[in-house]
Amino acid sequence: MATELGPTPVKKPASGGPEIHHAPKGVGEDNRIASQGRWASWLLAPTIIALAVVIVYPIISALVMSFQKDAGLDPVTGLFTAGGPAGVQNYVNWLAQQCSAPGGGTVACPPGTLGAQFWTATATTFFFTVVTVTLETVLGFWMALIMARTFRGRSLVRAAVLVPWAIPTAVTAKLWLFIFAFEGIANKLFNTTILWTGSEWPAKWAVIIADVWKTTPFMALLILAGLQMIPAEVYEAAKVDGASTWQRFRMITLPLVKPALMVAILFRTLDALRMFDLPYILTGGANNTTTLSILVINQIRQGFNAAAALSTITFIIIFLVAFIFVRFLGANVVEQSGATGKKGKK
Amino acid sequence: MSAGTAATALRAEQDRGRKTAQNREKIAQGRTYISAAVILIWCLAPAYWMVVTAFRDVDFTYDTSILPTHITLDNFNTAFDTSFGNRFGQALLNSVFIGAVVTLVSLLIGVFAAYALARLNFRFKYLVLGFILGASMFPGVALITPLFQLFTNIGWMGTYQALIIPNISFVLPLTVYTMTSFFREMPWELEESARVDGCTQGQAFRKVILPLAAPAIFTTAILAFISSWNEFLIASQLSSDATQPVTVAIASFAGAQPNQIPYTAIMAAGTIVTIPLVILVLVFQRKIVAGLTAGAVK
């Protein structure tokens, strides 16, 4: 997944840095880059090894597991099934929502079982992602535009937006569960009698509202940082040329903030696709709020190997979305962060 | 004569122009304040409600008066009470311990990688950067299944190391990424001077750069600790009653009646978990915002 995050730019010798002084061109130059390379590999080794142990090993292990049959009692039939190689059966079972049948072979999973929830969980995950990221982008942009203005109390607002971000998601979930309780403050304030976590759409909106509350600040801060990179002279010049507020927003703010915005949207999208804590605690996954992550967790205790197949599917979905963002929508994460270095060297 | 009139007219015109501009400015300013107030209320009201509920008598859990009523400290006692099987006090210690170890290990390992990425020229630099970024976007569920099986097989279920090791998988990339962007903006000319004065690159790093980098490292440590402190998915599956962190303890907080959620005690526990973070975040606000947005935006 790593390599696809951005095209590897052509390597160029950095201007400034230790390279400027007293080096004859040619052999010396090559030597120094080689020695920096050795030095770099020593410095990077601990991180790479640690990540290999905690990430690469589990990925490979999950992949191997996903091609194995789960041994043990079948939860549907109650019969003992032996383990062994399964080929792509686990994947087919999830995608076609098939469960193993008593006499061998497969039948459609009975409603209510985990196997029957794959497509609804996928739909729910994407629904949450699209709705929350859209709301967070719009609200976050608006917040960032306000926070970029100069007014008394600006630092108070900038501090306040960090509060939802600092509250752990588990606490956020419990807090909103209380707010959305039947006798809770939400029903009281809006004079409604909604059983928020009791039926599909209120439950979904409860999750969405809680998520938007918690993560919009992050979005707003990323966009604000992007806005602050735009030099004020550009706006002054546009004003002198008679551009209206809307024109200035559309012709200057949007294009110039777009790289930062795309990265923020990418981060949030990937985060939303793996959403777990909030719906797990807030609704327990009831009423069609089960996301793919929740489905994996529920499956683990019913069979590792099927769970591994499902987590691999989830991983592939997230990977594909990241790929589409980077390739077709121009979210260039690596280059974005690379730009800092160039700017830092003046 | 006519020239004078024209000048007066012009001045009047200019005055009027200035007044409308001023008025427009005032209206814009007013709109900014209203928007700022909306943001403040939206961000703070739910957190305020948590604190108000934490201090409200349990018999008035569903009192919906906006101002604090029936103020009591009982909920904080209930939060730490172990008679219903809750282990909130223990969980607090667990979270601090896990967070401290994860932060320390990630910083120790990550600081070298960040230095190399920010400072050195080598092949595959962007590949490594991309790998580390990709790792931070990695879904936790893709790790949990093999780890669940592995830890079951080697008898690590419910141990501290079973919680610490997966945590490192997402805190370490964050640490490297944040520190790399901080390091890029440091005054590296000083390192060069040190080298001209005869320090080796290693000495220059230890004696000049490390002290300069202390604020960046400290900010990264806060971000790393917060992200470990907030972790729920891995812990909810791999921890035991003895090792569970606060997020798991709060999510499964039980009351005297099995079908009644003890909201006031949970809000008290939530307040205890949140207040230190909020204070930390507000004190180091500027640095934290810089760390959060580092690299991603610039």
- Residue A340 banded pLDDT, cuts 50, 70, 90: very low
Q: What is the pLDDT of residue B84?
A: 82
Give the predicted TM-score (pTM) of the model: 0.84
Kindly determine whether residue A175 and residue B267, on different chains, have CB atoms separated by under 8 Å.
Answer: yes
Q: Per-residue DSSP letters for B179-220?
A: HHHHHHTS-THHHHHHHHTT--HHHHIIIIIHHHHHHHHHHH
List of chain A residues whose C-beta atoms are within 8 Å of the C-beta of residue B40: 156-157, 160
Kindly determine whether residue A171 and residue B113, on different chains, have CB atoms separated by under 8 Å.
Answer: no
Kindly determine whether residue B267 and residue A174, on different chains, have CB atoms separated by under 8 Å.
Answer: yes
Q: Which residue of B has its CA nearest to A297?
A: B141
Q: What is the 3-state secondary structure (H, E, C) of A1-45?
A: CCHHHCCCCCCCCCCCHHHCCCCCCCHHHHHHHHHHHHHHHHHHH
Residue A2: pLDDT over 70: no
Among A168, A273, A339, whose Cβ lies nearest the Cβ of B298?
A339
Spatial contact of B297 and A263, defined as CB atoms under 8 Å apart? yes
Average pLDDT, chain A: 81
Kindly determine whether residue A158 and residue B289, on different chains, have CB atoms separated by under 8 Å.
Answer: yes
Q: Which two tokens stand for residue B190?
A: 């000083």
**Lowest-confidence pick of A160-169, B4-13, B268-277:** B4-13
Distance from CA of A300 to the nearest CA of B (A): 6
By percentage, how much of chain A surpasses pLDDT 70?
Answer: 81
Q: Which residues of A182-202 are buried (b: 16+ CB within 10 A; e: fewer)?
A: eebbbbbeeeeebebbeeeeb
Q: Which residue of A has its CA nearest to B133?
A: A2
Residues 127-166 of A with CB under 8 A from B: 142-143, 146-147, 149, 151, 153-166
Q: Which residue of A has its CA nearest to B116?
A: A40
Q: Let me know if A150 is exposed, middle or buried by CB neighbors in 10 A (0-12, 13-18, 19+).
A: exposed
Contact with chain B for residue A296, Cβ under 8 A: yes
Condensed to tens digits (0 to 9), the pLDDT of residues A25-38 reads 455 566 666 777 88
Residue A325: pLDDT over 60: yes
Q: What is the pLDDT of residue A3?
A: 36
Nearest to A215 by CA among A271, A277, A273: A271
Give the highest mean pLDDT range of A140-149, A185-194, B64-73: A140-149
Q: What is the pLDDT of residue A84?
A: 72
Packing angle of the helix pair A333-344, B125-136 (nearest 10 deg): 120
More confident residue, B109 or B136: B109
Kindly determine whether residue B140 and residue A274, on different chains, have CB atoms separated by under 8 Å.
Answer: yes
What is the spatial distance between Cα A85 and Cα B171, in angstroms, rounded to a whole number?
Answer: 35
Q: What is the pLDDT of residue A12?
A: 41
How many CB atoms are closer than 10 A to CB B37?
Answer: 12
Distance from CA of A189 to the nearest CA of B (A): 9
Amino acid symbol at B16: R
Nearest to A43 by CA among B144, B115, B121: B115
Alpha carbons within 13 angstroms on the beta-carbon side of residue A269 total 22
List of chain A residues whose C-beta atoms are within 8 Å of the C-beta of residue B195: 18
Among A54, A182, A332, the residue to mutate for chain B (most B Cβ within 10 A): A54
Among B141, B184, B248, the residue to mutate for chain A (most A Cβ within 10 A): B141
Give the highest mean pLDDT range of A88-102, A233-247, B40-54, B211-225: B40-54
- Residue B289 banded pLDDT, cuts 50, 70, 90: confident
Q: Which residue of B has its CA nearest to A189?
A: B64
Beta bridge partners of A85: A68
How many CB atoms are closer than 10 A to CB A276?
Answer: 22
Residue A189 C-alpha from the chain's centroid:
33
Q: Looking at residues A316-344, what average pLDDT do you find?
A: 67
What is the spatial distance between Cα A241 and Cα A237, in angstroms, rounded to a whole number?
Answer: 6
Q: What is the pLDDT of residue B103?
A: 96
Contact with chain A for residue B154, Cβ under 8 A: no
More confident residue, A14 or B264: B264
Q: Looking at residues B113-123, what average pLDDT do you find?
A: 86
Q: What is the pLDDT of residue B295?
A: 54
Distance from CA of B158 to the nearest CA of A (A): 15
Residue A54: pLDDT over 80: yes
Kindly determine whether residue B137 and residue A322, on different chains, have CB atoms separated by under 8 Å.
Answer: yes
Q: Which two tokens stand for residue B221?
A: 């440590």
Per 3-state DSSP, chain A is made up of helix, strand and coil in percentages (nearest 5) of: 70, 5, 30
Across the A:B interface, residue pairs with CB atoms under 8 Å apart total 354
List of chain A residues whose C-beta atoms are within 8 Å of the C-beta of residue B129: 334, 337-338
List of chain A residues whose C-beta atoms are within 8 Å of the C-beta of residue B33: 151, 153
**Lowest-confidence pick of A192-201, A205-214, B13-22:** B13-22
More confident residue, A177 or A53: A177
List of chain B residues whose C-beta atoms are within 8 Å of the C-beta of residue A6: 126, 130
Distance from CA of B250 to the nearest CA of A (A): 7
More confident residue, B53 or A53: B53
Among A8, A36, A47, the residue to mutate for chain B (most B Cβ within 10 A): A47
More confident residue, A250 or B4: A250
Contact with chain A for residue B98, Cβ under 8 A: no
Residues 166-205 of B with CB under 8 A from A: 166, 168-169, 172-173, 176-177, 180-181, 184-185, 188, 191-192, 195-196, 201
Contact with chain A for residue B35, Cβ under 8 A: yes
Supply the ipTM of this predicted assembly: 0.86
Q: Which two tokens stand for residue A123?
A: 């739909």
List of chain A residues whose C-beta atoms are within 8 Å of the C-beta of residue B115: 43
Beta bridge partners of A80: A73
Nearest to B227 by CA among B174, B272, B290: B174
Residue B228: pLDDT over 70: yes
Cα distances (Å, whole numbers) of residue A292 to A119, A198, A306, B239: 9, 21, 13, 22
Q: Let me know if A103 is exposed, middle or buried by CB neighbors in 10 A (0-12, 13-18, 19+).
A: exposed
Distance from CA of A223 to the nearest CA of B (A): 8
List of chain A residues whose C-beta atoms are within 8 Å of the C-beta of residue B116: 39-40, 43-44
Contact with chain B for residue A234, Cβ under 8 A: no
- Residue found by looking up tokens 């009646």 in the block: B257
Residue B158 C-alpha from the chain's centroid:
26
Q: What is the pLDDT of residue B98?
A: 96
Residues 249-278 of B with CB under 8 A from A: 250-251, 253, 261, 263, 266-267, 270, 273-274, 277-278
Amino acid symbol at B200: T
- Residue found by looking up tokens 């979305």 in the block: A321
Per 3-state DSSP, chain B is made up of helix, strand and coil in percentages (nearest 5) of: 75, 0, 25
Map residue A312 onto helix, strand or coil. helix
List of chain A residues whose C-beta atoms are within 8 Å of the C-beta of residue B39: 143, 146-147, 157, 160-161
Residue A279: pLDDT over 60: yes
Q: Which two tokens stand for residue A282?
A: 């807030």
